[in-house]
Amino acid sequence: MELLMSVLIGLMFAASVYLILSKSLLRIIIGTAILSHGVNLLVLTVGGLKRGNVPILGLKGVTGYNDPLPQALILTAIVISFGVTAFFLVLAYRAYQELDSESISKTRGHEADDE
């Protein structure tokens, strides 16, 4: 399972980097979303997969539990990346309004245009 997961993680990182390196703002934001998915899976995988049961006490006949700490960390990460993604989306919307383009080329500073 971990082997499969690590290949998947690598694929997600590759896809996200490819998208982040493109010129369209929306594709860049989609890239960052995939990147955060990849990181969440990475934390889950190195924390150990399928080693126990759902980490909720008091269920009948349940003893060994899965590690709850990575789950808590990922939960925090999901919420933060959601906040950042929402912010980025509105930023892209505003940038498009101001610059009339969603191409990253237009966001280059004016100073360098002088040459």
- Of 24-83, binders to another protein (CB under 8 A) are 24-27, 30, 33-34, 37-38, 40-42, 44-58, 65-69, 71-72, 74-76, 78-80, 82-83
User: Whole-angstrom Cα distance, residue 109 to residue 69?
Assistant: 44
Paired residues of 103 in beta bridges = 24
User: Up-side HSE of residue 89: CA atoms within 13 Å toward CB?
Assistant: 8
Residue 61 CB, shortest distance to another protein, in Å, is 15
Whole-angstrom Cα Rg for the chain: 20
Q: Which is nearer to another protein, 44 or 61 (CB)?
A: 44
Residue numbers 8-27 binding another protein by CB under 8 A: 8-15, 17-27
- Cβ atoms of residues 4 and 53 within 8 Å: no
84-113 footprint of another protein as x/- string (CB under 8 A)? xxxx-xxxxxx-xx---xxxxx-xxxx-x-
